[in-house]
Every structure is written in C-alpha cells, then in structure tokens.
Structure 1
C-alpha cells in the first residue's frame, strides 16, 4: 500500500513533466528560433496582398526591406514605406508596413506585415527578398497558428474554430466557427476541468490527511455530488445528435424514389444548373451525383441516386445498391413520388405512400429523416390535387407532403421553406444555447472522460487511490481537447488543414 501511495503522489509531477516541458522542447528545438514568413492572403492576382513575418528577426526584416532612417513603424499602426530588396536596393513596391511587438501579437512573438500590391511579380519579389535575410525561412502550413497555440494565445478548440472559419462556406458555418474561435466551447471544457481538478484535489487530500483528522466531514459526499453533476453535464453535451459536426461538415441529403419520378429534375432545379441528365427513359441515372449546396445558410451535400426498382441489368443493380446505401447513411432523404402514379381513389393514397416510404427508406424513421415530395403536380387536375391533400391531412403514418412541379417550379418556395426548417432542426442555431461539439476527437475524449468517472464510482468505496486515478484520467481526457495536456500527438492532425501563411 505504501508503494501504491508513493506512486500516486508522484503522478501529478509526472503529468506536469509530460504536459509542459515536452511540447516546449519539441517546439524550441530548431524551428521556434527561426523567423518565418509567408503570403497570408489568397493566391492569385488581387488588389492587396499581405505577407506576414513572425519571430525574433521580424524587426530586422522590416528595417532591411524599408531601409528607413525612421526605424520601426509605431506599434499596430499602418505606415506607408518604400519596400526594397536588401541587397540590391531595388524598389520592389510601395506599400503599408505594420509592426506588432510581442507578446501583443497573434503568435505572441514579434510580428510584421507587409501590405503590398497583389501582382505575382510583386509578391514573389518581396518573398525572395525576405528569404535572402539570415535567420528567415518560409513558413510551413499552419505554423503561425501553431506558434500562437504554444504561446498560449489560443487553445486547441480555438485553433479548430479558426480553421473552420477559414473554410466556412455558409452563414451558419461562419457563426459556429466564430463562436468557437471566441473560446465559447473551450470555456465549457475548461470549466469542467477546473471542477474536476478540485474534486481530485479533495480526494487526494482525504487520502493523505484523513488519518490526522484534518479533513472536514462530508468532503467525499461533496465530491460524489460534484462528479455526478459533471458526468451528467458531459453526457447531455454528447446528446446533441451531432448538430455541430453536421453543420461543420455539411448535411448529407439524398434524393431517392422510383424511376422517372423526377429526381434528377429536382436536383437540377435546386442547383439551378443541369447537374444531372434528365431523360424520359427509365433508369437513366446509374450512379450517385453529388452537388454541394447552401440552403438557407446551411451546408448541404445533395446526392441524386438511381431509381429504386427490381432490374436484371447488372450496372443498374449496382446503382440501386449504392442508392440504398446513401439513403441509409443520409441525414435527410427527399423521397420523390410521381403524382400520376398514385391510386385513382384518394382514400388509398395514404396506404400506398406508407408502403412506398417503407420500401424506399427501409430501416430509417421516415417521419424524422424524410421529406415527401409529390412531383408533377402540373399533370393532375385541381380537383385531384385537393382530394389527395384532404386524404393526406387525415393520415397519421404519412409525413407532411410538398406538392411540386419540377417543370413549372410551382411549389418550389414551399419546399425550400420546409428544407430550411429541417436543416435548422438537424444543425441547430449556432448562436443559441450551449456551443455544440464540432469535432469527432472532442466526442472521443469526452466519452473517455465519462468512462474514467465511472471508474471513480466503481472504486470509491473499495480503494480511493484507484478512484482518484479515475478522476485523473478523466481530467487528462478533458485536457486533451483544449491541449492543456498530452497535445503533441494530435497537433499535426489539427494544423495540417491550415493553409500556408496561417
């Protein structure tokens, strides 16, 4: 028991050794002493290009390229300067220079920015000039943000939010990324870490000093209550139905139905271009056609699939198999039905549609993951239309239907309204409520943390040392989300998606 207690007392020290010096040493060996530079604005011709410099030789770079007797510009003030090659003194451009002394900069180091004209020749000239200076080298992908992380300017959730903001293509993605970059998600995890650390400290204090009667009565009961509350909050956080992850990566929406129901016509209408071949010949679509869309600010990957029917054609059979696979994986299925193929008796329509949906969706819950689209409304009479609507109104097993004509586009506005409502339900409003999970790794580490808290409850009445280790493991898993501990092995995964110059 004495050996176990000595090992336990050394664990916090070992954790501290692992979390701080290792990553500092890894960063400082070689690259951290370098001054890096890169084009931080977009590639191609543009009015203004921004070249960023960060590191101890940033001031040297400014002085050498501006060769001005006035010295460095005032901090965080745009100053117009001639930019010259440091060796030939050839004028490269005339632009704005900004100076950001550390630690009050994005990376925490001395930084400078050159705002120059965006022609390729100008950009290449300034980059070559910087590369000719001693101690300067081109930056690697994400290296500026990596240095900001090491300097404590950003935690890993904020880094990921910045990456998501750079890649955001819709309004909802932008809002979620901005909120995460502002630290909302990181603060949730940090609050849990602080509370769990307090619980661990109380348990360790009880182990060390309870025999000396220096611990208040009921402290373990308080820990039990706090851990239970933390566990509940974490579990509720995981029960978000992947809203944040879905918003980040895009909603998987598939168009499914029988042949010649108008699926490809619907795809072309939603994309406003001939993305898929439309033909009266049944079975024209053999493979999955994917198109990214922005519907109401939400990202969608829309897939058109082969018509679902029995066939002896081996190629079409493969298309049907892929179509059913996509329906199974989809977040939302648009089931298209040809109105002219419905039973002539309106009273039989609900039964027909219920069986049709069951055949198309199979294991999916059609009311939650389906939008029923009754196409070719221009080919039926107004009386038939009204009769079908009336029969569907009284049906409990059929989801609300959208009447549509892909030929005349009648009903398109109503369909788009329904789709926006479904997408908002699937993704949520990124500005309302607690911030959502956005990364699979967050979910993985939270699940491990919850499992570790189960270990606490498993051993708390048997061996407090092992119970405390459960709290320590849970705290470690939380720290891996924000990068407080054990971050080194996941840094490359996070930073690899950043562009050069960021």
Structure 2
C-alpha cells in the first residue's frame, strides 16, 4: 500500500501548517527528514532537511503508531511554520520519496473507515462537523461522530442475528421435536428493533433539518415591508427595497444563525394578481417556496388578513408598525424584531427537541426498508412454523439494510461521492 501525504490544514499563509503522512513508509521517511523521531504521541522539535540535506524548516514532529492513529496506520505529522514557500518545499521533497504520493480528497478518512476506525455514519458526521456553522449542527455532528448511531445499529443487528439464529435452529430440526418454542423470544427481539427504528425515523426529519438548515419564508402582499425586514435581520442590504409594488421578482435567501440553529430566511415576491409576466413568475415561485418552507412569517397590513392560509406553527405580524405595539413589526425601526426572532427560535427549537440521529436521507431509507422487512417477518412468524424459513430470510434482509447503513455492504457506489466532498488532507 502506498504511503500518502498532504497538507492537513487550510491552504495559504498561516501561523502553523500541518502536513500529514499515513502508511507503511511514513515513519522511515520522517526519520530520514528529521534525523530521529520523538516518542509516539509526544511532540518533538526537529530540523527537517530534504534528500540533498538542504534545510527546509524547524518543525514540531508528532508520531502515531499503527492501530493507534486516526487512519489506523503509521502516521506522522509535521507542524510547520505556515509559509506557502515552506509548505511547497516540504511537499515537493515528500513527492520524491519512493512509495509516497499525494493523497486524494478524503483518502485519510477513507483509510480510517477501511481499517475499522470509523463506520460510514461517522465518516458522514465528520464531513458534517467540518461544514457545521451553528452550535446545533456542531453538537449533532459530534453525537454521530462519537459512534452513537453506529452503536444503536450494531445493537439492533445483534438482536436480529440472535432472532435469525433461533429460527434457523427450528428450521434445521423441523423433523424432530424441538424442546423449546422460540417464537415468543423472536417476536420480542423483532418488536424491540422495530420500536427502536420507529423512534429514530420519527426524529429523522428534525435531524436532517438541523444538518441542512430550516427555511423561514417571509410572505405577504406587495409593499408589506418584507425586503426591509429581511435587510434588518441580515444587517445588510440583501434585498432591494422600493415603494414601487412588485420590486422583488425572485426569492432572495439570507443564511442566519438563530439560537444556534441554521436558518435561511426567504424574501418572496409580493403575492397579488399581476398582468406583468415576469412578476407572475415571481409570485408563482413565492407560493411554491412558501409551501415548502418549514415556517412562514406572514406580514399583514393593518386591518387586513393573511394572504395565504396560516398553518400550524406559522407566525403572523402586523406590517410596518414602527412603534412595534402588540403584534406589530417594523424592519425600518427594528420595533418588534427581537420578539420575532425569539418566537422563531422557540418554534424551531421545539421541533428539534425530537431530533434523532438519522441525519440523512440515506439513513432514513435504510431504516425504513429494514423496518418493513421486520414487519413482514412478524407477519410470517404469526402464520406458524411452516413460514419460519421465509421469516428468517426477511430478518437477513433487514440485517443487510443495517449493515449498508454502517457501510459494510452495498455502498461502494456511494463512497466515491461521499469522499469527494472532503478536502485533500482529510
């Protein structure tokens, strides 16, 4: 196997930059460059030289033994001065050593998975952690990265393996008297796993929204102050404001952190009938995006009623109330905005309180499929011993779905896509 290397920290000038090596030759090459290696997991200051003996940099060197590193392989890290020239010189020299090559995107993490250090859900969580922008995203990614989801799946798998084994004993001795009726234990094992899957599936929508973000659509008639309010919330001129009705033609998006939750505010076109073809397109888009949003903020002129149906959880405010009295709000003066933000936060926080660990559509589909197989197995189990072989096969299919969730089977076509989203060096 090749030894791979790459810049593991961000590109560009920095105080410190980290170059990582992983693979069978990492220690030998690092020793050749530094003269000697420090004890494993203890940083040592070393002078790095190239193959011609030319001084490259003075660096902290960290050594990790095989099976005790992130990748599960022998690993070395050079903590260099963060000069672009220094990094280039070190990487150039590493490329001259036989058996070494530059790592591909996500290759360090892929090796960690192949060596059993991470399962596929943890790989995805690591990607989510790197991309996290809010506290809720960070905490959710860390929960999955810690192996919490993988631990649940492994527990379900063990129960299903036992259930299948019990049925296999009955099938193997079908012509003999089996001393114990196993159906009650099998039924209990399957029922417990179905309940666990149901719980996770119930919280999967909220978990996925934490990862991908919530959408809050600001809706109302033209000149209700939607763009002005969006600009106030964003703290910048994100949308053009004008007294001319129909100024906003497309959906304008602003990403925000509200109470630690990722929220995208949508400024939509004013909802009205129009002879203008372009404005009608904007209105159609506004209705469509508002319908898909997680929450709608209805801005209603004083004395009017909401122009769209108010769904459960939606928020209604009286538009352009510069004093902010009652349920009024103003994006011009900021009156009522603090209370609005608090209500958005409380509404969305109540939803994420039910969040599970299945953060992706792939997780949900695998669990749904496994649950369906187990429900079918329970039906077959109730039919009697003549159907135990079919029930056992349904259990085996459910086990396969869970193994695919952890990346053990049937996921090769996914891996290239997943790891391509990682940067080189991770």
Q: TM-score when scaled to structure 1?
A: 0.81
Deviation at 1:115, TM superposition (A): 0.3
Tell me which of 121, 128, 137 is aligned to 2:92: 128
Deviation at 1:224, TM superposition (A): 1.4
Structure 2: 5+ residue stretches without partners: none
The alpha-carbon distance between structure 1 residues 44 and 373, as it changes in their structure 2 partners (threshold 3 A), is farther
Structure 1 match to 2:308: 360
Tell me which of 40, 45, 51 is aligned to 2:13: 45
Tell me which of 131, 139, 152 is aligned to 1:188: 152
Structure 1 match to 2:79: 115
The alpha-carbon distance between structure 1 residues 232 and 429, as it changes in their structure 2 partners (threshold 3 A), is closer
Structure 1 match to 2:394: 470
1:405 aligns to 2:330 (yes or no)? yes
Distance, in Å, in 2 between the alignment partners of 1:422 and 1:165 is 24
Task: Report SS of the residue matched to 2:15.
Answer: strand
Task: Report SS of the residue matched to 1:72.
Answer: coil
* Partners of 1:243 and 1:436 within 8 A in 2: no
Q: Which range moved further: 444-453 or 236-245? A: 236-245
Q: Which range moved further: 231-240 or 486-495? A: 486-495
What is the aligned-residue RMSD (CA, Å)? 1.6
Tell me which of 67, 73, 79 is aligned to 1:103: 67
Instruction: Kindly name which structure, 1 or 2, has the bigger radius of gyration based on alpha carbons.
Output: 1
Aligned residue-pair number: 423
1:81 aligns to 2:52 (yes or no)? no
Tell me which of 194, 197, 209 is aligned to 2:161: 197
The alpha-carbon distance between structure 1 residues 216 and 420, as it changes in their structure 2 partners (threshold 3 A), is farther
Task: Report SS of the residue matched to 2:298.
Answer: strand
1:456 aligns to 2:377 (yes or no)? yes
Q: Would you tell me which structure has more helix in proportion to its own residues?
A: 1
Distance, in Å, in 2 between the alignment partners of 1:314 and 1:426 is 38
Deviation at 1:427, TM superposition (A): 2.5
Deviation at 1:233, TM superposition (A): 2.2
Distance, in Å, in 1 between the alignment partners of 2:400 and 2:358 is 18
* Partners of 1:172 and 1:429 within 8 A in 2: no
Task: Report SS of the residue matched to 2:216.
Answer: strand
* Partners of 2:67 and 2:74 within 8 A in 1: yes
Tell me which of 424, 427, 438 is aligned to 2:352: 427
Deviation at 1:429, TM superposition (A): 7.4
1:440 aligns to 2:405 (yes or no)? no
Structure 1: 5+ residue stretches without partners: 1-32, 343-351, 390-401
Distance, in Å, in 2 between the alignment partners of 1:253 and 1:91 is 56
Equivalent residue runs for 1:372-387 within 5 Å: 372-378=316-322
Deviations 1:435-461 (A, max 9, x none): 431011000011110121133134332
Distance, in Å, in 1 between the alignment partners of 2:345 and 2:333 is 21
Deviation at 1:260, TM superposition (A): 0.4
